Amino acid sequence: MSTDSDLKSTIIGVTERLIAAINAADYAAYTKMVDPNLTSFEPEAVDTLIIVLTKDTAPKRTSLLSPVVHKLGTDSAVIAYIRLNQFVDKNGNVVTTRGEETRVWHKKDGKWQLVHFHRSDVPSNYLIEK
């Protein structure tokens, strides 16, 4: 029997693998992790559903800050977190971007699949204070 701690670890892990596939523009890995009827809300796609993966030329480090996992039943969960991306741009400047993300996962045939996500950009001048 799995615990809430096991579920949190599992959901954080599948989310990190999904983001790694996105960052690497690994469409094959991405499609294995998402439901064919995936829905989303994204700042770039106002009123439009767009599925495009493009690979950045610069390596990117992505961190999930303060992830919170909510169990919705035996086969579904939601994760909410701040996504922090760090990379060096073409001019050699270190760039950090932030976004707020929520992802809904559903376990189908023993495999976690992303069924919905919502992503909001955070202004670049926003500071995370502790």
Tens digits of per-residue pLDDT, 15-45? 999 999 988 888 899 999 999 888 888 776 6
Tell me if the domain spanning 4-121 has CATH number 3.10.450.50. Answer: yes
Report the predicted TM-score, pTM, of the whole model to 2 decimal places: 0.82
Predicted pLDDT at 129: 46
CB 18 within 8 A of CB 97: no
Cα–Cα dist 130/124, whole Å = 17
| pLDDT of 11 higher than 70 | yes
Domain boundaries, given as residue ranges, for the chain: 4-121
Which residue, among 11, 105, 3, 2, has the nearest Cα to 64 in the 3D structure?
A: 11
